[in-house]
Amino acid sequence: MRLQSSFKRPTAKNCSASAPQRWADPQIEVQTVTDAEDLRLTLGDAPSSDRETMRIKLRIDYAFIACYVTLLASLGLARKGIVGVAAAIAAIAAGVFDVLENLAIADVLDVKIAATTETMLAAIRQPATAKWSLVAVSVVLLLVSQVRGKSRS
């Protein structure tokens, strides 16, 4: 029951951000916006408390980026062979794209919805897509290196 409640969509009662359209987390919602209306539904128009909340979440996200890149890269480098090195490189690249995504989100936070361009939204979406893809590649490579190591033992 407790786990199920963590997947519910936020409401005005339990979240300071506007109710996302596709994802339960407004930060992930911003990464996948398709147009200015999606952004308005998620963050409201500038200035808003939702945008200030997103600013705080972005600052916290930089620490999270450092943590997951360090973890995945260390795990990759701890594995012997090219697969582990490739996993570490993918993790570092994911971190770079995550920082680019955060910088693009920060740029949009001060812009009114009417002034938001498709280029601004693409500057968020494209690094986010690359980040998630590279994180998946890194994890799969780590799993492959682990399975290879077990089968050789």
3-class state of residue 12 by DSSP:
coil
Please give the pLDDT value at position 18.
Answer: 54
How far apart (Å, rounded) are the C-alpha atoms in residues 40 and 28? 14
Q: Per residue of the chain (153 residues), give pLDDT as tens.
A: 454 544 444 444 344 445 556 767 778 888 888 888 888 888 888 888 888 999 999 999 999 999 999 999 999 999 988 999 999 999 999 999 999 999 999 999 989 999 999 999 999 999 999 999 999 999 999 999 988 877 665
Q: What's the pLDDT score for residue 6?
A: 45
What burial letters (b/e) apply to 62-96, b meaning 16+ CB within 10 Å?
eeebeeebeebbebbeebeeebbbbbbbbbbbbbe
Give the pLDDT of residue 5.
46
Of the candidates 123, 77, 76, 73, the one whose C-alpha atom is nearest the C-alpha of residue 100 is: 123
The length of the chain, given as a count of residues = 153
In sequence order, what DSSP letters do the residues of 30-67 get, joined into one string? HHT--SHHHHHHHH-SSS-HHHHHHHHHHHHHHHHHHH
- Structure confidence at residue 17 (pLDDT): 47
Given a contact cutoff of 8 angstroms between Cβ atoms, the answer to whether 135 and 71 are in contact is no
Give the pLDDT confidence score for residue 85 in this predicted structure. Answer: 96
Residue 19, pLDDT score: 54
